[in-house]
Structure 1
Amino acid sequence: MTHSELIFSNNLVNEFKTCTQLQYNGKLNIKSSKGSQWTFYYRLGRIVWATGGTHPFRRWRRQMAQNCPQIDVDKLQLRLQDVAIDYWDYRILEIFHKKQKIQREQIQSIAENTIAELLFDLAMQGNFASISCNRSQEVILEAPISFTSAEMSVKHMQDSWKIWSEAGLANFSPDLAPVLRRPEQLQQIVSPSVYKNFVNLINGKLTLRDLAVKMKQSVLPLTRSLLPYILKGIIELVEIPDMPLVVMEGNNKPITAQPKKSIAPLVACVDDSPQVCKMLEDIITSNGLRFIKIQDAVQALPTLIQDKPDLIFLDLIMPVASGYEICTQLRRISAFANTPVIILTGSDGLLDRVRAKVVGSTDFITKPVVPDKVISIVRKYLPTASISIDKSQPNLEVCK
């Protein structure tokens, strides 16, 4: 069982079940230590809508293209206030339904797909980050058009995530965009027609999910078909921005609606000790920064490449790959040429310090980990981060 499955079975599944049993009305807010947020809207114990994630506008565009192809979303005359609320996408669907532009069945399909996509993303983030949740009744959707069983949705998510992981895709988010990096190498191993399709479609402008919709196929077989080229470095998966809608200001001037996005720096910890990771997570997140933990040294590089943290705490002694080896490989990647890498070790020997410097580490922290040491390092190497030592944080020590 993967870490994400454990999280869902032990924590979030219970929360979803509780909301169902209580016939809850309101929001279930979920947040990861990496800064991502999701909101599930409940009515009488069933999920009626969900928002959040990496690309809310791209997701809505995909759902409209699949379920309501008769509506050109780029020609909609939306006002700024129409997209100012968190559930703007649901509100627009309500308006379309009242104007008889779309049917209830179309909304039901969009709702089910949206909920499934966000649950999948939640499972993926849960693989590398801690998840917390809380309930709030400040917003209750009064006249929901669709109702979705939380139990069935979570079961579907677990099945989907299992298949995705077993296909070797656990480290690849479907919200990443494929871009062709070595066209000349690709040209040597595929037919001219296939090469032409690659050049036209693999351009870094469409995420894997966008591409799947464009090609009218599921994202799983599409990504699986690209995996050999990704592993060879012919194709790279990169982060791309959302694709906001154009809305009108009060003076009828068109502007681009921007999704809410966290700008807090991301701090990573690569350490096989759960205690060290938890201690660092408490210190980092309590000071308003985002955090990601990586306890498997084998997964360190692909995860760091995907998430691109602003600062990395790296354990020196781990099974399979040492901190020296990981740091050496990181410094060979241009994206990490200047990223602060802080070595964590239980030894304060001069030899360790010298060797850590040789492989490219930025600084050195000896265990046990304590808040003032960590905050001092973060303040030193992330000067733009507004942080301070949380006086309510107990000065606990964790030593591997």
Structure 2
Amino acid sequence: MQGNLNEIDICSILQLISLGQRTGQLWVEAHNTYQSYKLSSEDTAKHRFATESKPLSWFVFFLNGQIVYCQAGESSLSRINDYLRHYRVEQRLNKMQLATLESTNSPEYAYIWALLEQNIITPKVARNIIHGLVHETLFDLLSLHQGSFIFDLGAALVPQLTSLDITTLVTKITKQVQEWKQLYPHIQSPEQLPVLADIARLTDSLPVSIVNKLQHWADGKTSLRQLARYLNRDILTVAKAIYPYVQQGWLQLVYSATPSSSNQIPSWEFPDHNKGRIVCIEDAISICETVESILKPQGYEAISITKPLEALSLVFQLKPNLILCDIAMPELDGYEICAMLRHSTAFRLVPIIMLTGKEGFIDRVRARMVGATDYLTKPFTDTELLMLVEKYINLDSSVGI
């Protein structure tokens, strides 16, 4: 069984495997996030590190229709080490022992068993780590909308330490994914790093014990996902706990600027010769290319984002002076994106121009209701686009996050 996720979703795939009581492994690959938007060469280099930290492929191992284990990407064993930190396990395997794991179907799974066999961890701790890794992997998979998959019948991972019911897991995690979406745009990705933004207000408003905890964890080096592992909590619980502080602006969530998760916040600066940065959120590549061809010769920096689900995260990093946003897009339409952005104080004054192929009165009214500044009907001329941009763009309205 194989195909694309735009033909069948992850939830349905898992249900088929469960109903058929299949044994084997499912491989899922996400479409490369680098191709979903166009950045300048300088910004591409900076943003690449933020997306590389998230695995682009996953393996799910099954036994008789139940999940035995999940592995994310080409594992570096760092996920397991994060859980070992929670259990205060300091002993690790030596280099020679680690080398023997590379030839196995799942180095992560083999690593857990090696730790277990050498009495470095107990069976209970091993099961808890497996449950945590399965949960976080399925959270990513059930949030995925574009990609491809292959399911191969075959022998199960051996030996088995535990197995998990698919229906129960999918029901629980699907609900969490839905709740996670309600945290947009303040929290967008488990890979974001909390950083203290206003220590004075934190100190004035919160008990000393909470401030101390936030100072300890919000170091700009620890992602939300790592924090969830350290605390042995699911990612939604962690996100909800910090959400009020992010919403108030006391905590800031950023992406790592280096592969080693440094505490430097990526800076998206304007080149001196540019009049301003304009982001175009549009799933039609031809429209994106048209916008770029019109704006760039006039001295504007034009950046295209063709996947609406990734738009919110990128817009917060790019800090545009003006946003062009298509209305009719799959998965997340322009009205929803505009409404989410307007809920953030950082985007309350940034002009948002809706791109639409319709001239209906209702569309214009709805655009205004969600906070759109203006609209532009497709197809549009060079003059029409430039007049609107020059009417609203203002360097003083750049996002200050």
TM-score (norm 1): 0.58
Which of 9, 24, 27 matches 2:25? 27
Letter in 2 for 1:33: H
Which of 13, 17, 30 matches 2:11? 13
**Could you tell me the percent identity over the aligned residues?**
16
1:144 paired residue number: 160
Which of 294, 301, 313 matches 1:303? 313
Q: Does residue 1:228 correspond to 2:244, yes or no?
A: yes
2:281 paired residue number: 270
Q: Equivalent residue of 1:29, what SS?
A: strand
Do the aligned partners of 1:24 and 1:43 also contact (CA within 8 Å) in 2? yes
Matches of 2:191 and 2:72, distance apart in 1: 13
Matches of 1:80 and 1:330, distance apart in 2: 55
Q: 1:172 to 1:115 in 2, by over 3 A?
A: same
Gaps of 5+ in 1: 1-6, 245-267, 281-290, 332-342, 362-400
2:137 paired residue number: 118
29-38 or 109-118, which deviates more: 29-38
161-170 or 107-116, which deviates more: 161-170
Q: 1:10 to 1:229 in 2, by over 3 A?
A: same
> 1:170-319 maps to which residues of 2 (within 5 A)?
171-214=187-230, 219-240=235-256, 270-271=281-282, 276=284, 293-294=307-308, 300=311, 302-305=312-315, 314-315=324-325, 319=335
Number of corresponding residues:
297
Q: Equivalent residue of 1:31, what SS?
A: strand
32-41 or 159-168, which deviates more: 159-168
Matches of 1:225 and 1:188, distance apart in 2: 19
Q: 1:277 to 1:225 in 2, by over 3 A?
A: farther
Gaps of 5+ in 2: 34-55, 262-278, 289-304, 328-333, 353-375, 395-401
Do the aligned partners of 2:186 and 2:247 also contact (CA within 8 Å) in 1? no
Following superposition, the deviation at residue 52 of structure 1 comes to 1.2
Matches of 1:45 and 1:59, distance apart in 2: 25
Letter in 1 for 2:249: G
Following superposition, the deviation at residue 313 of structure 1 comes to 10
Do the aligned partners of 1:21 and 1:45 also contact (CA within 8 Å) in 2? yes
Q: 1:147 to 1:216 in 2, by over 3 A?
A: closer
Q: Equivalent residue of 1:134, what SS?
A: strand
Do the aligned partners of 1:27 and 1:39 also contact (CA within 8 Å) in 2? yes
Q: 1:359 to 1:223 in 2, by over 3 A?
A: same
2:72 paired residue number: 52
Letter in 1 for 2:31: S
Q: Equivalent residue of 2:219, what SS?
A: coil
Alignment RMSD: 4.7
Which of 347, 367, 391 matches 2:380? 347
Do the aligned partners of 2:29 and 2:147 also contact (CA within 8 Å) in 1? yes
Do the aligned partners of 1:116 and 1:156 also contact (CA within 8 Å) in 2? no
Letter in 1 for 2:68: V
Matches of 1:142 and 1:213, distance apart in 2: 25
Matches of 2:184 and 2:231, distance apart in 1: 22
Following superposition, the deviation at residue 179 of structure 1 comes to 0.7
Letter in 1 for 2:134: I
1:366 paired residue number: none
Matches of 1:43 and 1:59, distance apart in 2: 23
45-54 or 175-184, which deviates more: 45-54
Do the aligned partners of 1:46 and 1:147 also contact (CA within 8 Å) in 2? yes
Q: 1:160 to 1:102 in 2, by over 3 A?
A: same
Following superposition, the deviation at residue 236 of structure 1 comes to 1.3
Do the aligned partners of 2:142 and 2:177 also contact (CA within 8 Å) in 1? yes
TM-score (norm 2): 0.58
1:82 paired residue number: 101
Following superposition, the deviation at residue 202 of structure 1 comes to 1.3
